[in-house]
Amino acid sequence: MNVSFSRATALLTVAGALALPAAATTSTETLIDTALLSMQQAPASWAEAFAQGQGSIAFNYRFEEVDQTGFAKNAHASTLRTAVGFKTAAYQGFQGFIQFEDISIVGNEHAFTTANRPTVADFRTTDLNQAFIDYSSDMGLFRLGRQEVIFDNARFVGNVGWRQNHQSFDALAWVAPDDFPVDATFAYVNNVNTITGANLRTDTYLLNVSKDFEDIGKLTVYGYSLDVHAAPALSTLTIGARFVGNMDMGDAGGIDYTGEFANQSDTADNTTLDADYYHFELGGEMSGVRLGIGQELLGSDGGAVGFSTPLATLHGQNGWADKFLGTPANGLEDTYISVGGKVSDVKLAAIYHDFAADEGGADYGTELDLVAKYKVNAQTMVGLKYADYSADTFATDTQKIWFWVTWTPFAK
């Protein structure tokens, strides 16, 4: 096999190694140990804030194969994501973060980008994934710049972290302070940096508010107003509520539950949408094995248009074969059962989906998803995943398999 890495990957790797004088952790990358940083005094200037900064580096290699009816050949995508970041120390309430990512092709790029093969949405690129400034005060955290945003289970807003090129947002965000009576986040987004490298210009307002109720669960209410300039059909106002919780049954195990409802209407230049959304799930765990059953509905407005979630992490929703990245005009009803557990430190899960139309009730198809993940050590995790979609009246039969290795060399 012909193996090639881009020059950008090599440069980013070297830069990441040089930028690692101290450590901590963030939600997206693992940074090296904070012991040295904790012995330093708080910075007295921006120069010291940079000198006491923290570097990060992470790698994700993935091989993906796709066998899809209607294409003469299978797709084989072998890619490496290198992410290098740097965060300054906090100075007078301010803190900066910057992160570059490089996606390199390991092998033959034409094996998944030519017309006679299915397309795998991991493309060769080097770009600025995040670059923002934080300001913390008694009023909360204010973040300005390019940033990854994830709300709840990423059903409506996410970073599409499964794909090698993450989705990020050019935004101004506010997170409520710790002493606020509820957890609250508000963001204004004027551009979405998509996984394909395209820019999606918007005037988008995102509000997510939640509160924990002891021994019962967590209630979240949200309102997401999207004005997508180049795609008026995606301009929507979504208002909803989500409740998740669990009940400890002692030696008998536990029960977990999810209930969510939302309504979506048109806004801005969109004039043709009124659709509902709901998601219910009930699960139980006993002796380390979890069983779950649920149903998710993305409704239809009379068969003309379906409920849309263009800012979501869509791979994690409605089957891993990615047949429903866009909601069909007749809507989507996803009824599923799941089982998961652990065998010799290997995490295993299986999910079976039955897909149907909201409007008219047509059978779209079924899908079986399987995954196994193993944490080798604090720095390394490997995974194997499989999806098999069997079409009835929507799309075509598709089988996908993935193998990946994630390595964060300075994790503890």
Q: Which residues of the chain have pLDDT under 50?
A: 1-39
Measured at the CA of 407, the angle between CA 401 and CA 411, to 5 degrees, comes to 145
**Beta pairing class for 380-391 and 363-375:** antiparallel
Cβ atoms within 10 Å, residue 340: 17
What pLDDT is attached to residue 35? 38
Three-class SS of the chain:
CCCCCCHHHHHHHHHHHHCCCCCCECCCCEECCCHHHHCCCCCCCHHHHHHCCEEEEEEEEEEEEEEECCCCCCEEEEEEEEEEEEECCCECCEEEEEEEEEEEECCCHHHCCCCCCCCCCCCCEEEEEEEEEEEEECCEEEEEEEECCCCCCCCCCCCCCCCCCCCEEEEEEEECCCCCCCEEEEEEEEEEECCCCCEEEEEEEEEEEEEEECCCEEEEEEEEEECECCCHHHCEEEEEEEEEEEEECHHHCEEEEEEEEEEEEECCCCCCCEEEEEEEEEEEEECCEEEEEEEEEECECCCCCECCCCCCCHHHCCCCCCCCCCCCCCCEEEEEEEEEEEECCEEEEEEEEEEECCCCCCEEEEEEEEEEEEECCCCEEEEEEEEEEEECCCCCCEEEEEEEEEECCCCC
Give the separation between CA 364 and CA 173, rounded to whole angstroms: 39
Distance CA 154, CA 152 (A): 6
| pTM of the predicted model as reported, rounded to 2 decimal places | 0.88
CA dihedral sign, ordered 263, 268, 271, 272: negative
pLDDT (0 to 100) of residue 412: 82
The predicted structure's pLDDT at residue 40: 58
At residue 115, the pLDDT reads 87
Q: For residue 1, what pLDDT is reported?
A: 40
Residue type, 32: I
